[in-house]
Structure 1
Amino acid sequence: MNEATTYDVAVSFTEESRSSVGEVVEACRQRGLTVLHGPDQTHEWWAHKEGGDLPDARVRFFLPFVSTVDDFTSAMLRAVKSGNEHVLPILVGDFAVPAELLHPHVTYLRLDDQLTEALAARVEAAEAAGVERARVDEVVTAARETAPAPAVPATFSRYAEQDAVMRYLGEQLTAAMPGLSRGGFAGTVHRGDSRIAVRVEHAGDTVYALDIQRGGIGGDETVNFVVGRHDAGSVCSNGWARPVYRTETGTAELELHDFSVLGRNTGEPRTYRREDLFAALWQRINTVVAATVR
């Protein structure tokens, strides 16, 4: 591979961006950057050439100028989101990267008067960090083959999941409560439309109280947990859970912020399947109840 086949950047553009990109290319060359740029190398050209037909060159960055989301630019943006460090999209006009394609830690460059200097800074930073140039055919091919991230189904409903969780926890707690009698405790569960009241007594004294409420500090789509007896209408929470959809598993789960309902007292979110959340709640109830008679 000789020096003529190495470049700082390679560009891809739409017909609408042709003249603007040409000006950027000239400015970059005057700035001392080497640019792989051909008049026919539009998005469509890069999208339909096979690996062996793409330029035999190595580049630091492949620059797709993005003014709209089509199949090719979507693939490039997915590649950035997946961590491809050689793809560097340039946003044209007022284009904004869709949320589902946005990488939270990538600063996207924009086609404006500062672009040439910004590109030079990126190239210099890559050189200083020892980032090697990559074969442009491999960069583009890998980006085109980046699979779309699984999407949250349009029919997913936090409120439907909230209903299902309230129903499931009510049923499981009702079924489990008689088991406390073996330890000398009486457990009751009152299941209402918006509240499940769990009470455990020993010789008529309440030793544990838990209210599971529809809605709370996290929003009206959440499930709120209040430990202990409180005045009606008081606002408090020992933890709350929001239904979420896990795209990697294709299942609905609960993101629990635990302030003490399970005894972790961190508030840091942790996801549970509803079965696992019930198991954790039941274990916590048994632990607290057993400690009251020691």
Structure 2
Amino acid sequence: MDYDVAVSFAEEQRDAVGEAVEAWRQRGLTVLHGPDQTHEWWSHKESGDLPDARVRFFVPFVSSVDDFAAAMLRAVKAGDEHVLPVLAGSLEVPAELSHPHIAYLRDSEGLTEALAARIEASSLSAPVADIVTGAREFVAPAAVPATFSRYAEQDAAMRYLGEQFAAALPGLSRRGFAGTAHVGDARISVRIERAGDTLYALDIQRGGIGGDETVNFVVGRHDAGSACSNGWARPVYDLSAGAAVLELHDLSVLGRGAEPRSYRREELFAALWQRINTVLAATMG
């Protein structure tokens, strides 16, 4: 049998949804609605146990974003044209489940006419079992979190590298070197000397040729304000790791000149420190 809509609801919405369904039927819409067909019911039925019916829309009334509601909202965001949530009250869809071009129906005075307009504009129906199980099983592709900030990651990288160099450099005195670090907000200056001669110099700067969100590396002594770079690290979000990393474009800061490579902050400091030790070992002959 074909219906215009099938309805799902939370237990506390039972009476309000019953009134909405009655208004829809009076409007001439056909509705698949059972008193026990709550979100809990729809979420635990296997495909073969769900109603043998086709619908244009599966309409879950969403008053809070539980697991079932989240699955329905993810399906809508992914482009499922048969899931049509109705948001209750002042509920807002979480940013990670919303899409700027999706307009949700509201459980308000104009809901019946708004739903009728959607139905009149739709000519396609599908088995309700396929709609529900498909939405439940949909796995959203990994996405960059809305709160990811390249500038916040740049700031964290500068702060971490400054702290690590400031802690590590004094230990070089045990090997006959003098290591100093000047840590500022926009620049970290690392200098390593022996008997007053500079053996290694590294400036780590906020921004540079890779963009103002990058961390720029300049090896060797140079004129203040000169535009040069031995590499830069750009904060990116690694979807496979589920974490922010630094994508290093190494011109020569690590002596590699290789394709861009991703580092965690800890890994990048370790690589820079290893490079320094390689250079210092070479000066010892």
Q: TM-score scaled to structure 2, two decimals?
A: 0.60
C-alpha separation in 1, matches of 2:27 and 2:118: 13
- Judged with a 3 Å threshold, the aligned counterparts in structure 2 of structure 1 residues 119 and 162 are, in CA distance, closer, same or farther, namely same
Match of 1:250 in 2: 242
- Judged with a 3 Å threshold, the aligned counterparts in structure 2 of structure 1 residues 40 and 150 are, in CA distance, closer, same or farther, namely same
Q: What's the secondary structure of 1:126's corresponding residue? A: coil
Where in structure 2 are the equivalents of 1:40-79 lying within 5 Å? 40-79=36-75
Letter in 2 for 1:17: Q
Shift of 1:195: 2.9
Aligned partner of 1:113 among 109, 112, 131? 109
Question: What value does the CA root-mean-square deviation take over the aligned residues?
Answer: 4.2
- Judged with a 3 Å threshold, the aligned counterparts in structure 2 of structure 1 residues 122 and 212 are, in CA distance, closer, same or farther, namely same
CA contact (8 A) 1:161 1:252 kept: no
Letter in 2 for 1:275: L
Q: What's the secondary structure of 2:122's corresponding residue? A: helix
C-alpha separation in 1, matches of 2:158 and 2:140: 30
Letter in 2 for 1:70: D
Match of 2:96 in 1: 100
Aligned partner of 1:133 among 125, 136, 140? 125
Where in structure 2 are the equivalents of 1:127-276 lying within 5 Å? 127=123, 132-147=124-139, 150=142, 159=152, 161-164=154-157, 193=184, 194-195=186-187, 212-213=205-206, 222-223=213-214, 243-247=235-239, 250-252=242-244, 274-276=247-249
Shift of 1:74: 1.1
Shift of 1:149: 5.2
What CA deviation, in whole Å up to 9, does each residue of 1:139-159 have, x standing for no partner?
A: 000111122554779xx8864
Aligned partner of 1:19 among 2, 15, 22? 15
CA contact (8 A) 1:195 1:214 kept: no
C-alpha separation in 2, matches of 1:243 and 1:31: 55
Aligned partner of 1:89 among 65, 81, 85? 85
- Judged with a 3 Å threshold, the aligned counterparts in structure 2 of structure 1 residues 243 and 27 are, in CA distance, closer, same or farther, namely same
- Judged with a 3 Å threshold, the aligned counterparts in structure 2 of structure 1 residues 274 and 246 are, in CA distance, closer, same or farther, namely closer
Shift of 1:224: 8.0
CA contact (8 A) 1:81 1:101 kept: yes
Q: What are structure 1's unaligned runs of at least 5 residues? A: 168-189, 198-210, 232-240, 254-272, 283-294
C-alpha separation in 2, matches of 1:163 and 1:21: 49
Shift of 1:244: 4.2
Shift of 1:275: 2.4
Aligned residue pairs total 210
C-alpha separation in 2, matches of 1:230 and 1:8: 72
Q: What's the secondary structure of 1:87's corresponding residue? A: coil
What CA deviation, in whole Å up to 9, does each residue of 1:158-193 have, x standing for no partner?
A: 6455454796xxxxxxxxxxxxxxxxxxxxxx9864
What CA deviation, in whole Å up to 9, does each residue of 1:37-77 have, x standing for no partner?
A: 11111111101111000000111110000001111111111
- Judged with a 3 Å threshold, the aligned counterparts in structure 2 of structure 1 residues 242 and 32 are, in CA distance, closer, same or farther, namely farther
